[in-house]
């Protein structure tokens, strides 16, 4: 019985060490996005993300939808009241899309 308890304790410790919380996961994913030159920076308090406009405009709408949803989740991890995120061009600064929590993604 003690061996089983010991194994359960060890297993739960290992799982908790390897588990990513929401903030860590979104940080890791945003860093991957930045490394791939799709996005350049994000500002959770202003609810905006700056992206490579050429890559964004040439992406499939389904890809835009899922990436924009990730941007919203990234923003909400830092700003729980966020209900939308503006997708802005890194070169011009103009808003080229917006993702709203209940309405999804729209190109501008």
Instruction: Assess if residue 84 is contained within a domain.
Output: yes
Instruction: Assess if residue 2 is contained within a domain.
Output: no
Please report the beta strands in 10-103, taking only residues with DSSP state E, as ranges in sequence order.
39-43, 48-51, 84-89, 95-100
pLDDT at residue 101 greater than cutoff 70: yes
Range picked from 8-12, 19-23, 54-58 for highest mean pLDDT: 54-58
Instruction: Assess if residue 74 is contained within a domain.
Output: yes
Q: What is the pLDDT of residues 62-98, one digit of tens each?
A: 888 988 999 999 899 889 999 999 999 999 999 999 9
Instruction: Assess if residue 28 is contained within a domain.
Output: yes
- CA-to-CA distance for 9 and 26, rounded, in angstroms? 28
- CA-to-CA distance for 40 and 60, rounded, in angstroms? 20
- CA-to-CA distance for 83 and 66, rounded, in angstroms? 16
pLDDT of residue 34: 78
Instruction: Assess if residue 13 is contained within a domain.
Output: no
Angle 84-93-100 from CA coordinates, rounded to 5°: 10
Tokens of 43: 């500002």
Structure-model confidence comparison of residues 72 and 9, the more confident one? 72
Determine the structural domain holding residue 98 and report its residue range. 22-107
Structure-model confidence comparison of residues 78 and 9, the more confident one? 78
């Amino acid at each position: 019985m003690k061996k089983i308890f010991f194994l359960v304790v060890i297993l739960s410790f290992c799982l908790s060490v390897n588990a990513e919380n929401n903030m860590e996961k979104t940080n890791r994913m945003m860093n991957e996005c930045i490394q791939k030159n799709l996005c350049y920076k994000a500002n959770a308090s202003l609810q905006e993300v700056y992206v490579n406009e050429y890559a964004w405009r040439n992406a499939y709408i389904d890809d835009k939808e899922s990436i924009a949803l990730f941007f919203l989740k990234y923003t909400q991890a830092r700003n729980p009241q966020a209900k939308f995120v503006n997708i802005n061009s890194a070169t011009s600064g103009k808003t080229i899309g917006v993702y709203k929590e209940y309405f999804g993604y729209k190109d501008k």
